[in-house]
Amino acid sequence: MNYVGQGLDRSDGRLKVCGAAPYAAEFTAPRMAHAVLLLSTVAKGRVRIDAASAEAAPGVLAVMTPANTPPLPQGGKAAVNPPAGRVLSLLQDDVVSYNGQPIALVVADTLERATDAMRMLKVSYTTADASVDFEKAKLEAHAPAQVNRESPDSARGDVAKALAGAASRIEARYTTPVEHHNPMEPHATIAEWNGDRLILHDSTQYVSGVKETIAKTLGIGPEQVTVICPYVGGGFGCKGSAWSHVTLAAMAARQVGRPVKLVLDRTQMFGPVGNRPRTEQSLRLGAAADGRLSAVHHGVVAETSVLEDWVEPSAIVTRMLYASESQTTSHRITKMNVGTPTFMRAPGEASGSYALECALDELAEQMKIDPLEMRLRNYAEQDPGKRLPFSSKALRECYRAGAERFGWSLRDTRPASMRDGRWQVGLGMASATYPTNRSPAEALVRLTPDGTAVVQSGSQDLGTGTYTVMTQVAADAIGLPIERVRFELGDSRMPKAPVSGGSQSVASVSPAVLAAGLAARSKLIDLAIADAQSPLYQGRRDAIEAGDGWLRLRGGDAARAESIEALMARAGQVIEVRGEAKPGDEKKAYSMHAFGAVFAEVRVDQDLGIVRVPRIVAAYGVGNLLNAKTAHSQLMGGIVWGVGMALFEETHRDLRNGRYINGNLAEYHVPVNADIGSIDIIVVPETDRVINPLGAKGIGEIGITGVAGAIGNAVFHATGRRIRDLPITLDKLL
């Protein structure tokens, strides 16, 4: 292979920097109307809307409310099947279950007229007592049916006995707040009916999932729905599901008989399209005198909506990361009048690793053991929860490489001992991990008479480099120069691919592209062998190789070679082949994860409590990188988000009415360039022949895991104060 692994520039880079890459809201259609969504302002009750003035306003085509919206099959709840389908708010009744719930839709010939008419709606509520306070609601928490298709609870050994006999033990509670995704591109949908067929331009992480969800919800066949999404301006999990606005746009387009565009504004990104839920995590750790863990308990309570049980699986990471003979984990959820939470970059692992890594650091400090040494003493050679070997695990090398680059050996072990003028200096570290997921995927290769190839798979590119990476895989598999290969995605009519979530696009789609590419190469070789005009006529197919746009005999006469372009031109035909790839029984025999080690330096102002992060060094074992440049960007992006999780991000809820009071980018704080110091990323060599034919692990989410823990531990090392509630803000340090 020649292209796989190289740090090639993005194939879609020029389109993006020139503004020519079309996003969902940028498509147009003749006679397109504009819709504006109205959200509830109470958390629980019933709503009544007087729409007379709005309906009479200039340019208004329709006002949809619970009083006049046509009924849907099964009340619009036919597609409940996360991640694609959720319990939606489709104006089928007047019940309000959370603040920010869709309660009306106004459609007009212009956006301005739709917005103006929406303000004319007269809304009244009959309110009821709502559950919006986590501290009260958690008292009635219950166990969900399952967590990541596993039991919500796990147990091995006797934790109570082991804790009683431990040489050292700690017990602590950690919390993570509500967080919202805030991608640069808001949710957007354009719906257009052509007879009984629906075309959706939707900003989504799952074109096939939206297709299935919309078809089921509207009661039509999947073949009647086409979903198109060539580019996504960020998703991070919130676009993995088809939320209410997508179906409402389709319903509105059908009602007015025109294409309808519906784009959420920035404040509407808070509420009806998911978030990371608040968690409260209780950790109890016990260790023998040598620092080896003898007992671990990790209990999680997280919020969910009254509409459905959604679980933040924060304790899942504890089941597999460190060796301990006795361990229990539990997950509990508490129903509240809030919007349903959803997947947010590394759901569970991001929040859970923060609590686990801080608790382990607290135990290490109590026992006067170096935090890195503490992790090495509890290194799990196999998955202790599943009792399976890891398909590959380069975590020891990550610890070594990261510590050496960071200068961990220079760390003064005493908390609050390192200073630089008025700044207290702290060095902290944490482990990172994320499961290696894979789903069935399909791909198509079409070779044309001009010797070029079009490769398709109905995947998505969230800005992660899918276009580029799949082009590299296809070029190597077929044997063409990369400039003669075009990869296409983002259309539900293409061969099916899974959701771009769970860090699985590369691990799932690239094997399918590889299979299709190799099948196309085989067809080319067959064509040459059967062509009397080819120098390779009647050659042995196992002796013919392909590369750089040529077919040639392996190690043979240079005259026995021919360009693919010449061969295809002479044939004058199109070669089209499909490939598919799916996981087998690997997960029954192996535990599959990516691993890493994060080292962070923080500086804390001694008087003001301001926290700065001048440098982070992170080392990862993530299998075979398909593109070194896009991989570096992915890992760096995850680390930046981890800094945000540690120090900035928190959505505040008004306990009087359940409203998010900082639902905008002015008051919901995320890191900016000035907040980010040096980020040094190391990728250690790792071979994994189990996960897929390319040995490639997903890297979209591992980058955020461990970062909040490393920063939290560094803040403690700098100040001697342990902050257990994220984000770590200056008021908590003063």
Nearest to 433 by CA among 385, 497, 473: 385
Count of residues making up the chain:
734
Share of the chain above pLDDT 90, in %: 97
User: Any idea what the CATH number is for the domain that residue 93 is in?
Assistant: 3.30.365.10
The dihedral through the CA atoms of 400, 404, 406, 410 has a sign that is: positive
Q: Is there a single domain that holds both residue 84 and residue 114? A: yes
Q: Rounded to an integer, what is the distance from CA 98 to the centroid of its chain?
A: 25
Q: How do 168-176 and 382-383 pair as beta strands?
A: unpaired
List, as one string, the DSSP characters of 509-558: HHHHHHHHHHHHHHHHHHHHHH-TTSTTTT--GGGEEEETTEEEETTS-T
Question: Of 582, 599, 619, which marks where a domain is finished?
Answer: 582
pLDDT tens per residue across span 632-682: 999 999 999 999 999 999 999 999 999 999 999 999 999 999 999 999 999
| Long-range Cβ pairs for the range 126-129 (8 Å, 24+) | 126/45, 126/46, 126/48, 127/42, 127/44, 127/45, 128/44, 128/45, 129/44
143, part of any domain? no
How high is the pLDDT of residue 81?
84
Burial 145-178 (b: 16+ CB within 10 A, else e): eebeeeebebebeebeebbeebebbbebebbbbb
470-497 pLDDT, tens per residue? 999 999 999 999 999 999 999 999 999 9
Helices (H), 543-606: 564-571, 586-589
* Domain co-membership, 665 together with 641: yes
Say yes or no: 497 and 510 in one domain.
yes
- CA-closest candidate to residue 208, choices 484, 471, 403, 500: 500
Domain match, 117 and 207 both: yes
Residue 553 sits in the same domain as residue 620: no
The share of the chain scoring above pLDDT 70, in percent, equals 100
Split at pLDDT 50, 70, 90, the class of 1 is low
- Asked if the structure places residue 147 within a domain, the reply is no
Same domain, 452 and 496: yes
pLDDT averaged over the chain?
A: 97
Is the pLDDT at 391 greater than 90, yes or no?
yes
Answer yes or no: do 487 and 342 share one domain.
no
Residues 197-236 pLDDT 10s? 999 999 999 999 999 999 999 999 999 999 999 999 999 9
701 catalytically annotated: yes
173 falls within a domain: no
**pLDDT digit string, tens, across residues 99-138:** 999 999 999 999 999 999 999 999 999 999 999 999 999 9
Nearest to 227 by CA among 248, 245, 251, 209: 209
Inter-residue contact 617 to 417 (CB < 8 Å): no
pLDDT at 45 over 70: yes
Residue 428 domain flag = yes
Residue 577 has pLDDT above 90, yes or no: yes
Which among 212, 562, 686, 701 is annotated as catalytic? 701
* Sheet of 225-228, strands arranged across: 60-64, 102-108, 33-39, 260-263, 188-194, 197-202, 225-228
Return the pLDDT at 49.
98
- Residue-wise pLDDT for 127-164, tens only, equals 999 999 999 999 999 999 999 999 999 999 999 999 99
Nearest to 411 by CA among 355, 364, 377: 364
Per the domain annotation, does 2 fall within a domain? no
Any alpha helices (H) in 257-330, and if so which ranges? 318-321
Same domain for 473 and 420: no
> Looking at the structure, do residues 336 and 418 belong to the same domain, yes or no?
yes
Specify if 174 maps to a domain.
no
Indicate the pairing of strand 197-202 with strand 225-228: parallel
Residue 396 has pLDDT above 90, yes or no: yes
| Stretch (H or E) spanning 294 | strand 293-305
Sheet containing 122-127: give its strands across. 95-96, 45-50, 122-127
Q: How many domains does the chain have?
A: 3
Q: Residue 659: which domain range?
A: 279-437+587-733
- CB–CB of 300/352 below 8 Å? yes
pLDDT tens per residue across span 588-603: 999 999 999 999 999 9
**E strand or H helix at 134:** helix 134-137
Angle at 569 between CA 564 and CA 574, to 5 degrees: 85
Q: Which two tokens stand for residue 665?
A: 């980018």
Question: Are 432 and 444 found together in one domain?
Answer: no
Q: Is the model's pTM score more than 0.85? A: yes
Q: Which of 530, 562, 582 is the last residue of a domain?
A: 582
pLDDT tier at 85 (50, 70, 90 boundaries)? confident
pLDDT for the residue numbered 427: 98
Write the DSSP symbol of residue 462: S
pLDDT exceeds cutoff 80 at 558: no
Tokens of 76: 């619009």
Q: Of 554, 582, 610, which one is at a domain's C-terminal end?
A: 582
**Measuring CA to CA, which residue among 554, 472, 532 is closest to residue 506?**
472
Write down the residue that tokens 């992170």 correspond to: 618
Copy the structure tokens of residue 440: 């069935």
Where residue 630 falls among pLDDT bands split at 50, 70, 90? Answer: very high
Do 244 and 215 share a structural domain? yes
**Rounded distance between C-alpha atoms, residue 230 and residue 210, angstroms:** 14
Compute the average pLDDT of residues 276-291: 98
Instruction: Supply the pLDDT for residue 557.
Output: 76
Whether residue 594 sits in one domain with residue 578: no
Would you say residue 479 lies in a domain? yes
Pull the structure tokens for residue 339: 């919007």
Distance CA(453)–CA(488), nearest Å, equals 11
Beta-sheet pairing, 60-64 with 102-108: antiparallel
DSSP code for 477 = H
Tens digits of residue pLDDT in 414-454: 999 999 999 999 999 999 999 999 999 999 999 999 999 99
In a domain, 3, yes or no: no
